[in-house]
Amino acid sequence: MTDASEIRWLNEEQDFTWRAVWSLMTWLPTKLDQQLREDSGLSLYEYYALSQISEAPNRSIRLSELAGIANMTLSHLSRVISRMMKAGWVERIVDPEDGRYTLGVLTDAGWDKVEEIAPGHVEAVQQAIFDQLTEEQARALGETAARVAEAVSPHGEVTGPPKGR
C-alpha cells in the first residue's frame, strides 16, 4: 500500500484538466455517436471500423489489427463485422499471406456507404472540435492528445497518423 505522504494529489489546475479530459472522453463520443445513429443508423464503433477498413491498403485489414486500432475486443468486432456483412458492406476472407488470420475487406457497397456517411460525420467533428478552437489551440490539442494516447495505448502510438506530417 502507498504511504499517504507519497500520494501525488492533483493540484487545482491538474484537477480542472483531469475533469475537462474526463468530460471530453465522455461527451464527445456520445455526441458523435448520436449524429451517426441519426444520420445513418450506425454507431460510432461501426463507423470507425468501416472507415478504418476503407483507409487500409486495398481496403483490407486483418481483423485482429482492426480490433487493436479500434480498441474493441475480437468478439465485439466480430458482431460489428457481422452486422456490416449482412448489410453487404464488408466481407470476411482468409488472409492469403497467412491463413491463421481473417481479413475484413470493404465491398463496393461499403465504399459507397463510407462516402455517404463521411461528410456528415466530418461536419460533426468540425462543429464539436475545430469550430471551438483557434488553429493554434487545435494544433496544441492534437499534440497533447497524441502524447497522452502514446503513453496509454497498448501500441504506443496514435491510430491513423495524419497524412503529410
Mean pLDDT per 10-residue segment, the chain (165 residues): 82 96 95 96 95 96 93 94 97 96 97 96 97 97 92 76 43
Please name every residue paired with 90 in a beta bridge, in sequence order, or none if there are none: 106
Give this prediction's pTM.
Answer: 0.84
**Residue 47 neighbours by CB distance under 10 Å:** 23
**Is 23 inside any structural domain?**
no
Query: Residue 91 belongs to a domain with what CATH number?
Result: 1.10.10.10
The set of residues, in sequence order, having a beta carbon less than 8 Å from that of 37 and lying 6+ positions away, is 43
Domain enclosing residue 93, as ranges: 40-137
CA-CA distance, 15 to 12, in Å (whole number)? Answer: 5
Residue 10 lies in a domain: no
Is 29 within a domain? no
Structural domain includes residue 147: no
Tell me whether residue 25 is in a domain: no
Number of domains the chain contains: 1
Copy the grid coordinates of residue 124: 460533426
Domain assignment present for residue 164? The answer is no
DSSP state of 99: T
Give the CA distances from residue 39 to residues 78, 113, 123, 124, 129, in Å, rounded to whole numbers and listed in that order.
23, 12, 12, 11, 19
Identify the pLDDT of residue 163.
45
The 3-state DSSP class for residue 35 equals: helix
Identify whether 1 is part of a domain: no
Distance of CA 89 to the CA centre of its chain: 19
In a domain, 148, yes or no: no
